Amino acid sequence: MTAAEATELSAAEMLDTATEFGLRIPHPLLDASPITDLYRRRARRAYDRLGRDVALAPEILRAVSTADDHEVERVTAYLRARS
């Protein structure tokens, strides 16, 4: 899997999770693409923070997107050590 594919998977899973927790689209003619775009941007920002373009599981991308700088550096150091 590529980082781009992981980004798409993360966005889709985040939308699914939001829907499971009660997200409703307010009008039947609207689709969820703006919300998916939001989650896609969040995943891309997580990759930007890591400075690595390696495929990560959606739950890791979610964690990185809300982590503080110290936690992100720990993940980055781990990824550097593994490559």
Q: Structurally, how many domains does the chain consist of?
A: 1
Which residue in this structure is represented by tokens 């781990």?
78
Q: For residue 62, what are the domain limits?
A: 3-20+30-82
- pTM attached to this predicted model: 0.82
Position 25 in a domain: no
Position 42 in a domain: yes
Position 75 in a domain: yes
Q: Which two tokens stand for residue 14?
A: 């985040």
Position 34 in a domain: yes
14-40 b/e with 16+ CB inside 10 Å = b? bbeebeeeeeeeeeeeeebeebbeebb
The 10s digit of each residue's pLDDT in 7-66 is 999 999 999 998 889 988 887 767 888 889 999 999 999 999 999 888 999 999 999 999
